[in-house]
Amino acid sequence: MKKKIIRIVIYILLAIYLIPLIYFLLYFNWDYARKNGFVSWLCFGEVVVTAKSIIWPYYVFLNKESDEIVIINQNDLDSISHFKNSRINSDSALLLIRTSSIIGDSLEFQNITPSDKKQIINLLNTAIKEAKLVNNDLLDKIHPELPEKYTKHYIIGLEMIKAGINNNERNKFLLGYNYFGRYILWFQANEEDFLKN
């Protein structure tokens, strides 16, 4: 009986610890990207963020360093998750394209195997679907031009890349890759502005 009560108490305490862990993982991802820049977040964010999330009680109860209060709502957290999922899937698709289709300096669609093509299309479909779920209000909070750049360059670029690969249209693929590249260059050029917002 005593062991059963101890086990129940341990489960309750574990739940009290683990449920907020999910929230803080999303919050610290957003906060790290906002303060350190997107590229830094992609390179180092997961390690730092995961460590901070694991010790979330310290930041809630003991850390009095910052008086800054950041209010984010569930829609913002969902959008951050969609943004990240889209980027992970698009990066995976583009990496697979590069490794399976490039000969020398040119892209050769005929070198993409049917199984790679199917995987690339699935990754791009997921990236596009996730990107379309990102709330423009959140993007606008980050930078006033980001909603337009995200929609007109990132999403449209991915759609054109997908159509080019799906229909073996090299020019459409290259145009989509150009749109995507413009988004990345714009994003990197404005990274410091993201930190201010």
DSSP structure class, residue 134: S
Q: Which of these three, 62, 88, 106, is where a domain ends?
A: 62
Is residue 69 assigned to a domain?
Answer: no
Note whether 97 and 171 are same-domain residues.
Answer: yes
131: Cβ–Cβ under 8 A, 6 or more apart, which residues? 82, 83, 86, 90, 150, 154, 155, 158
Residue 149 domain-assigned? Answer: yes
Number of domains comprising the chain: 2
Q: What pTM value is reported for the model?
A: 0.62
Q: Give 35's pLDDT tier (boundaries 50, 70, 90).
A: confident
Task: For residue 42, give the amino acid letter.
Answer: L
Q: Are residues 163 and 190 in the same domain?
A: yes
Tell me if 167 is assigned to some domain: yes
Q: What domain range includes position 41?
A: 2-62
pLDDT exceeds cutoff 80 at 106: no
With a pLDDT cut of 70, the percent of the chain lying above it is: 79
For residue 69, name the pLDDT band (cuts at 50, 70, 90).
very low
- Summarize the confidence of residues 161-176 as an average pLDDT: 89
The domain boundary residue, chosen from 13, 42, 62? 62
Under 8 Å between Cβ of 155 and 132: yes
Give SS3 for 91: helix
For the chain, the helix, strand and coil percentages under 3-state DSSP, each to the nearest 5: 85, 0, 15
End residue of a domain, out of 62, 87, 105: 62
Pairwise CA distance, residues 144 & 18, whole Å: 35
pLDDT of 79 higher than 80:
yes
Query: What's the whole-number mean pLDDT along residues 53-60?
Result: 69
Q: Does the pLDDT at position 93 exceed 50? A: yes
Q: Are residues 23 and 97 in the same domain?
A: no
Average pLDDT in the 72-98 region? 84
Q: Are residues 174 and 102 in the same domain?
A: yes
Higher pLDDT residue, 109 or 188? 188
